[in-house]
Structure 1
């Protein structure tokens, strides 16, 4: 077996092995996810959220019952204020002042235009309840009933509908002379601003701490549990990113001070905390430069996951007023929107997108894909454009590699003479081969470098296609209407000509009746092989013969955008290799190599 074929086989086998391990470790979900956005059914289970304890002042004993416990079942008995923006619709319940109903107008649960829009937040008492609430934790001189909590009935002081440029203001007054005000505004995208203030008209000093809470009742129904994707708690604390799955939160130690399983993080200047899903996120964001206590909690008795941002305790003398502003992100994890929020002061907010371990590749690859898509206006063609750019960047290395391969072909007669002279003397064979390589300035290992470099790029693009919302439901043309999903064509629907669907990805039939893109991928790999004659070794011949078709079936269930990238990469590589080898005086016998693979092999006579 010559060195060139050895290197090519080694590189191809390594690529196959890495992808196979990846496929085994990170298989697609076995069952289709339950639609998390269907209208929830009301239940009679009470929603009880424990009031946070102040971070730096004495407070009531954790778990003390009172006004700080929410008993709202569905919120239908409390008045509500509508939320209407170009991209959001929802409501604020006057019980607790909760932002507890929110839908994303730009996104639907399925590709079908008639599919319901995505629901992000739901009120307590509904199935999969998920909401944001704000309040004040009592400190010195106050009890739970003296501060507004999750069950407090607020009054409307200003506004009827929350919209961009049209904030709403809520007020509540206790019997001790404290007047609380909450002003809520929203921008054109997904950012809410919440300003909480309190005025002490009583006769004694009081201490209290403002807080924000995100509460989630149970795990999301559509939880992917996919190793490549983080879902659960996400927090940034002074430049340190923390990610905890729902299982991690359940396994936290019980914190006596918090009264639940909890992980507490002290943030000195900049940070945020919340929940992240595959494509959606809610995040509590205190003002930049403000210290606060961030906490992730799990109440196993009620099955509630909770993230908190508790700001420093305020001490008010009679006649004084304290005011604190925070932000709440609730929406889609759009790269452009999140980047803009980071530019306006949300520290490292772009890291809320799960870029993974290869962030140094996934971030620039996505940026480049995004920019190309802005120019072209079609994500499928943008993937092909991205492939062209990547191949252009790697062209110098590819050129050296293919030049080396052409020279190796030219040296083939001389190498055969060396093998004949050396006979069974392996040491002499290696020594003379190395002298020949040195004399002709040929590196036999260079042929595998372009293939090896494609592995991290392939995985990084797989990550980008899987986690970024910009690829969700992104069309290319014809039946390819979602590049983040497997190829929707199959022989069962005549490769997209018939209106019915292909076998679902979790079906065994999907592994057999693959789409047209995986088939094109297999053919492109096979053609690329035919630039070189088939190896003489029978085992090597068999491996090379089966490799394209194994990859074809193995990648049939991968995202069609990823298969499209690999097809484009194969075709560009084929063109580059053919042109460069021709320029070096070696003309690949493509037609002859193809015909030889169909010729019937003569039977060897038995001795």
Structure 2
């Protein structure tokens, strides 16, 4: 391989090194608690009911401030109990404000708490869904249900997959409100709101749904590779805003807070997404609505709203509006089902697939399918690696064949160097003529490396953002493929009777078994070729496997498993192809030479 080819490979490898160094040196900062979670007096801004398109035009109901008192601990509650969810609905506001995910725990510890998604006002991480009606013509704020309305549940009962619950409220002035809440076997709630006008006059009002989050979540990772915050789909256009972005919005007078308002013509949704969990308001996908993302800096409340078309009701008329609320884990299969069978436009994009979505989506779909067959995500990653290597094999074959041809031409290249002497231009011209004559592409050996860059980062993205890798075991000590290898060289991988110390920012020094295997696999792959003759390149190539070993040691175990498998398969492919084309790599000789090599200064 000539100097140009070596320099190209060197530049590529160094680029990978810089990118990986970025991941390491810019980790997510520690979360900062910005407020006292016990400060319970809050103010929410009710949604503006207009202008919202209706079948007969628009309505101009005004924005109203809704003062929410502290959570009434004596307010009745209805229990939620399904195969996957547990919690309760407060009859104060009729809000869904207590929700936990039965299938997920905070840590790998069997006694760890299950994941809490929603929490009532006044508790740490207050977060809930609230539904109501914004008053329009002929109505005042106290004549419609809001945050502090005490509903009744005539039939009582527990909300299950087969048993919906019904709430009612009579405003005492002719309007009777009914709310039926149901839930499916996963995480989708259906909320059917009905209002009956028994009064003498005509009234206008607009149904809405709110997701309110008090303060930025304490477990927000603030990592640039992952989106956390507001997420919305509006007529096919995906919008994302971090909590910082929401706080930077301009003040919107009509909303009474920093807000961004979008008129959606027929299909969309809006909510908040975390790393693995999400809550989303989903109006009927054929109905227009107003999508609002806002931040009340006075009370440190983040809020998303879906405000539906205004309803005008004369005496004896009623109106019913049904919307959905997704509140649960971002499971790929469930979300895909809601998109494909449930008709929720672009719902699969609620998972952060990143810029390489055209790679990350099919890679994860294949990984998920392999896991369903094999039953172990670690082995599924290895099977995925094999499939990827099969797909790119034609390119790899040409590359390694070209490299073998280059080895055969090495004696002739040495002769050209002797003839050219110090005339580098003459040397380059002679080599190009030789390459053309022998039909050799000197850059072919770099193609597999270049191809690995987008695949590597796509898989990194998949492993980092998808829920299915969280707490997924592989073999033995690898009990969470989304986390770094827990073994450590500092206690001889458990042989010594003490736990490895927590080194914080220097955790890369606590090497596990997988990172060491990675370094060895890269080192062996290098030994398929003799070391470069240039001393600088020789030194860089000698250190590269061990630098990668330390840098990738803090990465998710699943990614390291992929890299080890990829290196192993690449070694076998390259060795076999080069043998087929007449060049026998002297692996053991190159290993021996790397230990016996002396510098020119020492030889002198």
Same fold (TM over 0.5): yes
Deviation of 1:507 after TM superposition, in Å, equals 4.2
Question: Residues 114 and 166 from structure 1, CA distance in 2 versus in 1: closer, same or farther, beyond 3 angstroms?
Answer: same
Task: Select 2:47's aligned residue among 52, 55, 60.
Answer: 52
Measure the CA separation in 2 of the matches of 1:258 and 1:133.
17
Measure the CA separation in 1 of the matches of 2:348 and 2:218.
26
Deviation of 1:19 after TM superposition, in Å, equals 3.8
Question: Residues 19 and 283 from structure 1, CA distance in 2 versus in 1: closer, same or farther, beyond 3 angstroms?
Answer: farther
Measure the CA separation in 2 of the matches of 1:284 and 1:539.
58
Deviation of 1:601 after TM superposition, in Å, equals 2.0
Measure the CA separation in 1 of the matches of 2:140 and 2:495.
69
Q: Deviations for 1:226-262, whole angstroms, at most 9, x for unmatched residues?
A: 0001000000000000000001101111111111110
Q: State yes or no: 1:134 paired with 2:135.
A: no
Task: Give the secondary structure class of the aligned counterpart of 2:380.
Answer: helix
Larger mean Cα displacement after TM superposition, 540-549 or 593-602:
593-602
- Report the counterpart of residue 458 of structure 2 in structure 1: 460
Query: Are the counterparts in 1 of residues 259 and 294 from structure 2 also a CA contact under 8 Å?
Result: yes
Measure the CA separation in 1 of the matches of 2:120 and 2:333.
29
- Report the counterpart of residue 55 of structure 2 in structure 1: none
Measure the CA separation in 1 of the matches of 2:390 and 2:38.
58
Q: State yes or no: 1:284 paired with 2:285.
A: no
Q: State yes or no: 1:146 paired with 2:143.
A: yes
- Report the counterpart of residue 490 of structure 1 in structure 2: 488
Deviation of 1:459 after TM superposition, in Å, equals 0.5
Task: Select 2:409's aligned residue among 408, 411, 417.
Answer: 411
- Report the counterpart of residue 163 of structure 1 in structure 2: 160
Measure the CA separation in 2 of the matches of 1:78 and 1:476.
47
Deviation of 1:296 after TM superposition, in Å, equals 0.4
Query: Are the counterparts in 2 of residues 74 and 126 from structure 1 also a CA contact under 8 Å?
Result: no
Task: Give the secondary structure class of the aligned counterpart of 2:270.
Answer: strand
Deviation of 1:421 after TM superposition, in Å, equals 2.1
Measure the CA separation in 2 of the matches of 1:462 and 1:405.
29
Larger mean Cα displacement after TM superposition, 21-30 or 257-266:
21-30
- Report the counterpart of residue 430 of structure 1 in structure 2: 428
Q: What does 1:78-117 align with in structure 2 at a 5 Å threshold?
A: 78-117=75-114
Q: What does 1:278-317 align with in structure 2 at a 5 Å threshold?
A: 278-317=275-314
Measure the CA separation in 2 of the matches of 1:606 and 1:8.
25
Query: Are the counterparts in 2 of residues 402 and 580 from structure 1 also a CA contact under 8 Å?
Result: yes
Q: What does 1:119-518 align with in structure 2 at a 5 Å threshold?
A: 119-343=116-340, 344-496=342-494, 501-504=499-502, 506-508=504-506, 510-518=507-515
Question: Residues 42 and 530 from structure 1, CA distance in 2 versus in 1: closer, same or farther, beyond 3 angstroms?
Answer: closer
Task: Give the secondary structure class of the aligned counterpart of 1:156.
Answer: coil
Deviation of 1:417 after TM superposition, in Å, equals 1.5
Deviation of 1:603 after TM superposition, in Å, equals 6.0
Measure the CA separation in 2 of the matches of 1:133 and 1:602.
73
Measure the CA separation in 1 of the matches of 2:141 and 2:31.
41
- Report the counterpart of residue 54 of structure 2 in structure 1: none
Q: Deviations for 1:195-231, whole angstroms, at most 9, x for unmatched residues?
A: 0010111111100000000000000001101000100
Task: Give the secondary structure class of the aligned counterpart of 2:67.
Answer: coil
Deviation of 1:375 after TM superposition, in Å, equals 1.0
Measure the CA separation in 1 of the matches of 2:128 and 2:24.
31
Task: Give the secondary structure class of the aligned counterpart of 1:157.
Answer: coil
- Report the counterpart of residue 63 of structure 2 in structure 1: 62
Deviation of 1:74 after TM superposition, in Å, equals 2.9
Task: Give the secondary structure class of the aligned counterpart of 1:323.
Answer: strand
Q: Deviations for 1:305-357, whole angstroms, at most 9, x for unmatched residues?
A: 00000000000111111000000000000100000000121111000000011
- Structure 1 unaligned residues grouped into runs of 5+: none
- Report the counterpart of residue 580 of structure 1 in structure 2: 577
Deviation of 1:59 after TM superposition, in Å, equals 5.6
Measure the CA separation in 1 of the matches of 2:441 and 2:109.
54
- Structure 2 unaligned residues grouped into runs of 5+: 52-57
Question: Residues 468 and 109 from structure 1, CA distance in 2 versus in 1: closer, same or farther, beyond 3 angstroms?
Answer: same
Deviation of 1:20 after TM superposition, in Å, equals 2.2
